[in-house]
Structure formats: structure tokens, C-alpha cells
Structure 1
Amino acid sequence: MKIMMIEDNSSVCEMMEMFFQKEDWDSLFIHDGKEGLDTFLEEKEQWNLVILDLNLPSMDGMQICREIRKINKKIPIIMLTAKDSESDQVIGLEIGADDYVTKPFSPLTLIARIKALTRRANLLLEKSEEKEKTYEITTKHLKINKKTREALLYNKEIEGLTPKEFDLLYTLSKNPKQVFSREQLLTLIWDYEYFGDERTVDAHIKKLRQKIDKTGSQVIQTVWGVGYKFDDTEVE
């Protein structure tokens, strides 16, 4: 755990440094708002948590919080506010602080809030990584989770896919650039020799394309005289 605490009260910093050392946490204490933000931006990848006092010289905690959130949406931020500043607490949470602690505070209270917040952040990160691992198909722009039947194109979900439309997209994207004839798609997706009109594939492809168009550039291509293929390698 590496913590940056931007707080202009040196007594508070000295007190918290002792408690952070007991927890075996690395910490850096900065007493000026702009200096604190500049230091964070210089080494933004190494910090696990930021503690911000609301009232700071040169730049207040609200401004710092806004600037941090522009470049990092996930790092936990705790804001220190006065006991009677309810409006500041609300604004702080609205602009991106994850929690607030009112002054004067017990060091043990702040330690407990830090532990709770980092546990929550780590849990969200684990869930995000786990979801990332479950995508059976990952191409340049497409991710498909067959178990949940989710399809993300350009990091946006393709909404409203019917079972057959999903199966079409899955089959084509599983084999990028491979051209499938209508007969092959009927056999693979309808799972039996389909004796109906092969134009049923065209109808499903048309609807699938309409839903893809709402998300971004088209990735289902027609190979005239043969069939269809998936290819997103040329799409920016």
C-alpha cells in the first residue's frame, strides 16, 4: 500500500505517519495543494490511495480531486472535511471522492476507512479481471462471453441480440476472415440440414448488422457469390 496524503496540518501528518508505519504502509505527506497534484501526476501509477484535505494552500481538495479523476477513475480518494460542512461532503462525493472523514478525527477511524475502501476497490478490480478472463473470443474490437451471451463491440454492448443473431456473430468471429457459405451457417447454427429458404441467413445477418451499426462500424462483410465473414482488422 502506497498512500499520498495532502494535508497542510503538520501535526496531523506526523500523527498519521506513525499509524501508517504500524500498518507497514508507505506514505508521502505534502502540505501544498498544487505541489501534491504535481507530485501525483509525475508518479501517478505508483499510488494506491489519496487522502485530500479540503482546505489547502494554492489549490483546494475539490480541484485536486477533479484533476485526479480526469486521468484516473479508479484510485480510491478520501476527503477530509470540517464537521459542519455537509455541502462540501456532498460535492466531494459528486466530483469523485470515494469517502470522507470529518475533522477532528480519530486515526483509527481513518485507518478503518482506508482498509474498507481498499478492500472494496480490490474486490471490484478482481471482478473486472475475472470478467475479462471469461471472454471466449477477443479480437481487435470485439469481446464475447458465451456463458452470459454478452457481446461487446468497441467496448459497448451490442444490445437486443436474439439467440440466432448471437450464434451467428459468435460463429463468424470465432473464425475471423474465414468465409462461410449460407449452407454452412445453416448447418452450424440451426444445427441440422435446413431445408428452408437459405435467405433466412440473409434476414438474420441484416438484423445483426442493424444492431452492430448502432454500436459502431460494420464488421460483418459480404463476400459476393460465396457468403459472409467477420473482419474487424481494418476498422479503426
Structure 2
Amino acid sequence: MARILIVDDDKNSALAIKDSLEFESYEAIVSLSGKDGMNRALNETYDLILLDILLPEVDGYEILRELRKIKKDIPVIIVSGKTSDEDKVFGLNLGADDYVVKPFSMTELIARIRAQLRRVNILRGSSVSHVGPYPGYEPVTIKIGESLVFLDKMISKLNDVEFPLTPKELGIIRLLYKNRGKVVGRDMMMKEIWGEDVYVTERVIDTNVVSIRKKIGDTGRRAKYIKTVFGVGYKLIEG
């Protein structure tokens, strides 16, 4: 049974989500303030977090920022009344895995939760049955240029310095490696890594790729290993 933390100062909304999750056989815990939500998120164990942004004491962005310093692989879905593209991009760039705008369909929210839990189980090596980009293929280490990417540890290593990888960065690396030498379109990345029903812009993908390049030392004037194919996507060149 997955354990889900709901951080939302709207008690009625939080309890409605809790009831729906429990009906679907999830364990749901409610936190009604930013301070309590941060404490629970950082110090307790959850399989997924639903996070509002406008919270008393500590806002959702700060909770997410602190969470990603120590827990990089737990799925976080922002559930917020903030509707602008800028808010969505900011939250996703901070490390959120999905962004749901209030008011929302409970059926849609449950579907998005299931999608995130399914993906994180794949990244952690779960035996969950899934048709996706990686079945039957689970290399331990990938060499890209002078760097080594340790998939099991979610780190890249360059010149004896280790860099942690986020789940999305790891997913992009795996997808590019599986299709090495071929162009992987941004639309394919969106579908395979974020999911068909998850809102994500091309800018979010590009930001993740820039971060990956820094962590593997591919930061020259022209990238040597993760090539940009303008208007389409990216291609991994072995070397």
C-alpha cells in the first residue's frame, strides 16, 4: 500500500483527497500547514507527496526546494490554484514531477498519482509490469565521454567528483542511451518520462538536459555527447 502525504491548508480539499485516496486503498496523511508539512516530508517516509503552494508559515516551493536536497526520487505532484505557465514551469524546474491546477477532477488526480508511482517503481527496479522505454534493459553503469553514470546509485562521476541525478535526469539519460546514435524527440521524452497526461513544456526538458550536460562534463561551446537536433530533440553520441 502506497503512503501519500497531502500538504494543503484547505481542510475540506485535503480531506476530500484523503477520502478518495483511501477509497483507492492508499494510506493518506494530511498536513494543514507548511511548517508541519515540511517536517513530515523531510523526516517521515512517503511514496508520494501532494503539495499545495500557498501555505501558511512555509510555502510549497520552499518545502520542495528543501526536500530535493535530501530526497531526490520521491514523486511530488503540485496541486495548486496558481494557473500561469510561469508558475507551472517554476514548480517543475524546482523538482516537481507533475502540476495539477485546482479545481481538478479527482479521477484525473488519481490517474496522475498512479502514473507517478508506476514510473518511480520502474526507476527503483520494481518488478511492476510496464510497457515503456526500458523493459529488459537495466545497465548498471553508462559511460558518456569522460563521465560514468551509475544508474543504481542515481549519480554521475566526473574527475572523481560525484553529482546526484534527479529521477527525470536519469530517465532522460536512459532513454537517450537506449536510442544512442538516434534522434529522440522532445515529444517522445514527454510521453515516456513524464507521461501522456502530465503537463510539461519543452523548456522543462531543455533545462533538464542542460543540467545533465553539466553533470557529465559536456559543457563546451558545442556539446560533444548530447547533441541538440534543433526543432526536434536530442541525440546521444557515444565517445
What TM-score does the superposition give when structure 2 sets the normalisation length? 0.54
Alpha-carbon distance between aligned partners in 2 of 1:153 and 1:106, rounded to the nearest angstrom: 39
Report what 1:169 is aligned to. none
Distance 1:60 1:96 in 2: 15
- What is the distance in 1 between the residues matched to 2:147 and 2:55? 46
2:69 matched residue in structure 1? 70
Match of 1:85 in 2: 84
Q: How far apart in 1 are the matches of 2:91 and 2:149? A: 34
Mapped contact 2:6–2:18 kept (Cα < 8 A): no
| Other-structure match for 2:122 | 123
> How many angstroms apart in 2 are the aligned matches of 1:120 and 1:21?
21
Q: Could you tell which deviates more after superposition, 80-89 or 50-59?
A: 80-89
Could you say which residue in structure 1 is the equivalent of 2:55?
56
3-state SS, counterpart of residue 89 of structure 1: helix
Give the gaps of 5 or more residues in structure 1. Answer: 136-142, 159-213, 215-236
Q: Provide the residue aligned with 2:112 in structure 1.
A: 113
Moved runs in structure 1, 4+ residues, more than 3 A?
A: 150-155
CA shift for structure 1 position 85? 2.6
Displacement of 1:100 in angstroms is 0.5
Larger Rg: 1
Give percent identity, aligned residues only.
38
How many residues get paired? 145
What secondary structure is seen at the aligned counterpart in 2 of 1:84? coil
Write the distance in 1 (CA, Å) between the matches of 2:86 and 2:102: 15
**Counterpart secondary structure, 1:50:** strand
Residue 39 of structure 1 corresponds to 40
Q: Which residue of 2 aligns with 1:220?
A: none
In structure 2, stretches of 5+ residues that fail to align are 126-133, 151-155, 160-216, 218-239
Q: Could you tell me which residue of structure 2 aligns to residue 6 of structure 1?
A: 7
Higher relative contact order (CA 8 A, sep 6+): 2
Which whole-Å deviations, capped at 9, do the CAs of 1:47-95 have from their partners, x for residues lacking one?
Answer: 1001100100001111100000000111000001225332111100001
Q: Which amino acid aligns with 2:64?
A: C
Q: Identify if the C-alpha distance between structure 1 residues 73 and 106 changes in structure 2 by more than 3 Å, giving closer, same or farther.
A: same
| 1:86–1:151 Cα change, 3 Å | closer
CA distance in 1, matches of 2:111, 2:13: 17
Structure 2: which amino acid aligns with 1:123? I
The structure-2 alpha-carbon separation of the partners of 1:35 and 1:83, relative to structure 1 and needing over 3 Å to count, comes to closer
State the shift of 1:35 in Å.
Answer: 1.0
Displacement of 1:16 in angstroms is 1.0
8 Å Cα contact 1:49-1:75 kept in structure 2: yes
On the 8 A contact 1:4/1:29 being kept in 2, the answer is yes
Give the 3 Å change call, closer, same or farther, for CA 157–27 of structure 1 in structure 2.
Answer: same
In the superposition, relative to structure 1, how do residues 63 and 153 fare at CA in structure 2: closer, same or farther (>3 Å)? closer
| 1:1-236 map, 5 Å | 1-43=2-44, 46-82=45-81, 84-126=83-125, 131=138, 152=148, 156=157
Instruction: Name the counterpart of 1:178.
Output: none
